[in-house]
Amino acid sequence: MVDRTYTSRRTALKLIGIGGGMLLGSGTATADHGGSHPGPTFFARLSDNPSIPGHDKVRSRGRGRVDLEGDSDGTELHFELHVANLEGGAFAAHIHGEGRADGPIWVTLYEGEPINDEKLTGTIRDDDVDKSVGTVRNLIWNELVEGNGVVNVHTKFESGGEIAGIVRPRPVGGWIAV
């Protein structure tokens, strides 16, 4: 179940950012993604945080970060995934849905040989997004903006997810960059 308090706060922040941007004549991106401006940017701080729905505390010292940057037409989402100090090497990393670390897998960021203390980069295109979400544009504007995405890193130490983090819009210049 999605935390509606969080969604309501996010909606209010978007409206404040849009209204403030119009009042100040700012080039800040708006929620409808109209006009000429950079694509949306998001981030997730990954940790052993049990407050994320579907993620249990596993006493990991690991940490991570995901940076997501969309292109201006919303057809690609570029990512950087940083992981370090994991108890077990990461063999998979996903963006899960429904605001839960154990929600449906929307996008696979990594699957392969266990890694640790590494930075991975890649590009998410429509073919990489689960059919339930549809397209990168839908992923960005219908899910990530609303706080429904959670990055979860699966390791040999904790196959259900050693570290996880909620994907949030990145503040830019005092405004939310969506």
Q: What is the mean pLDDT of residues 16-37?
A: 39
The residues, ordered by sequence, that sit 6+ positions from 95 with a Cβ below 8 Å of its Cβ are: 105, 106, 107, 109, 139, 149, 150, 151, 167
pLDDT over 60 at 127, yes or no: yes
pLDDT over 90 at 74, yes or no: no
pLDDT over 50 at 29, yes or no: no
Alpha helices in 25-142 (DSSP H): 136-138
Going by the DSSP 8-state scheme, the letter that residue 151 receives in this structure is E
pLDDT tens, position by position, 133-169 = 999 999 999 999 999 999 999 999 999 999 999 999 9
N- to C-terminal Cα separation, the chain = 24
C-beta separation of 59 from 126 below 8 A = no
pLDDT over 80 at 28, yes or no: no
User: What values do phi and psi take at 82, rounded to 5?
Assistant: -115, 130
Q: CA 24 to CA 105: how far, in whole Å? A: 39
CATH number of 4-176: 2.60.40
Q: Where are the domains of the chain?
A: 4-176
Here the tokens at position 37 are 């401006």
Provide the pLDDT for residue 151. 96
Residue type, 90: A
Torsional sign, CA 87, 91, 93, 94? negative
pTM for the model stands at 0.75
Q: CA 146 to CA 80: how far, in whole Å? A: 21
Provide the pLDDT for residue 30. 34
Provide the pLDDT for residue 172. 62
pLDDT tens, position by position, 33-57 = 444 456 889 999 999 888 888 888 7
E strand or H helix at 4:
helix 4-24
